[in-house]
Amino acid sequence: MDTLIEARDLIRLYPGVRAVDGVSFSVRRGQCFGLLGPNGAGKTTTLEMLEGIQSPTSGSILYQGRPLDRDYRQAIGIQFQATALQDFQTVRESLAMFASLYRRTADRDELIQMCNLAELLDRDTRRLSGGQRQRLLLAIALVNDPALVFLDEPTTGLDPQSRRNFWGLIETVRRRGKTILLTTHYMEEAQRLCDEIAIVDHGQIIAQGAPLELVRQHFPAAVIRLPAAAWPTATPLPDRAEARDGAIELFVDEVAPLLEHLERIGANLNELKVQTPNLEDLFLKLTGHTLRG
């Protein structure tokens, strides 16, 4: 396995808080790896240690098999949750300023085209919309042509359309061979973008793997929901069924035979719903609470 960066048993304590509590994982070259968890789970703190911005209380980080050194800063790009852009600067000036901080830089025109900034070059950065600003921040993160890009909740606060556009952009970055390490509390984002995720809660990784495989390990293929009143009173619930919140949930690997059975026993199917479990369901199952806290 061609590991680019590895976290080994990272712990970060703040007074009265174990923000990160023994986190270990490896990110392969070319992979998009996601830390998924609710607010306060410890994602940003973990990312900041990997970025070399803050030191772990204990544990270690290896980049290409070696501890982080002075050159590391040149090899990575960071899109922070909130980057302060200089007032009275245009998009063009802002890109040039960040580029001047590095020995090696990406082809500026290519970057502008990829991040769809050509029309915005002369605009004051204070007049950018949320989506435009995120595209500029991504371009800034890529300005030194880094091998590894950190994206800390890159689409938080964006409207659904801008979020989808930004996902497309992250996929382009990925196709150009970058390794990406991102944090998110959107399970859809993790499911769409990440080859591998670590689900983080209370400073610990509680599950790790490819998103769909993780869901499959913990759930049957489908969950069928019926209002409790739709179930014929005299009929006992089957083994793989649960009654909760006024509904009955049936867990099945194949939907058709169950539907036939429900018809036979006279269940009212008018409000039947078939759902495919996702990361949100997995998170709820593993922690007892939702991703949105």
Ligand X SMILES: Nc1ncnc2c1ncn2[C@@H]1O[C@H](COP(=O)(O)OP(=O)(O)OP(=O)(O)O)[C@@H](O)[C@H]1O
**Sign of the alpha-carbon torsion through 146, 85, 69, 44:** negative
Shortest reach from residue 45's CB to ligand X, in Å: 3
Shortest reach from residue 41's CB to ligand X, in Å: 4
* Residue placing its CB nearer to ligand X in the complex, 38 or 227: 38
- Stated length of the chain: 293
* Residue placing its CB nearer to ligand X in the complex, 27 or 252: 27
Q: What's the CA gap between 127 and 109, in Å, rounded?
A: 22
Number of residues counted as binding ligand X (CB under 6 A): 12
Shortest reach from residue 152's CB to ligand X, in Å: 7
Site map (CB under 6 A) of ligand X, residues 31-60, x = contact: ------x-xxxxxxx---------------
* Residue placing its CB nearer to ligand X in the complex, 48 or 196: 48
* Residue placing its CB nearer to ligand X in the complex, 12 or 133: 12
**Residues 22, 204: contact at Cβ < 8 Å?**
yes
Q: What's the CA gap between 222 and 120, in Å, rounded?
A: 46
Q: From the list 2, 9, 14, 218, which residue makes contact with ligand X (rule: CB under 6 A)? A: 14
Q: What's the CA gap between 98 and 140, in Å, rounded?
A: 7
In the numeric block, the tokens 């580029």 are attached to 99
**Residues 205, 43: contact at Cβ < 8 Å?**
no
* Residue placing its CB nearer to ligand X in the complex, 40 or 220: 40
Question: Is 51 strand, coil or helix?
Answer: coil
Q: Give the helix ranges, DSSP H, for 51-159.
A: 72-75, 91-99, 108-114, 130-141
**Residues 6, 260: contact at Cβ < 8 Å?**
no
Q: From the list 19, 49, 111, 114, which residue makes contact with ligand X (rule: CB under 6 A)? A: 19
* Residue placing its CB nearer to ligand X in the complex, 199 or 250: 199
* Residue placing its CB nearer to ligand X in the complex, 157 or 266: 157
The residue type at 158 = L
Q: What residues between 185 and 204 interact with ligand X by CB under 6 A?
A: 185
* 266 interacts with ligand X by CB under 6 A: no
* Residue placing its CB nearer to ligand X in the complex, 133 or 185: 185
Site map (CB under 6 A) of ligand X, residues 110-149, x = contact: ----------------------------------------
Site map (CB under 6 A) of ligand X, residues 147-186, x = contact: --------------------------------------x-
The beta strand positions in the chain, using DSSP E, are 3-14, 17-28, 32-36, 58-63, 66-67, 76-79, 148-152, 179-184, 196-201, 204-209, 222-227, 241-244, 247-252, 273-275
Shortest reach from residue 81's CB to ligand X, in Å: 6
Residues forming contacts to ligand X in the complex (CB under 6 A) are 14, 17, 19, 37, 39-45, 185
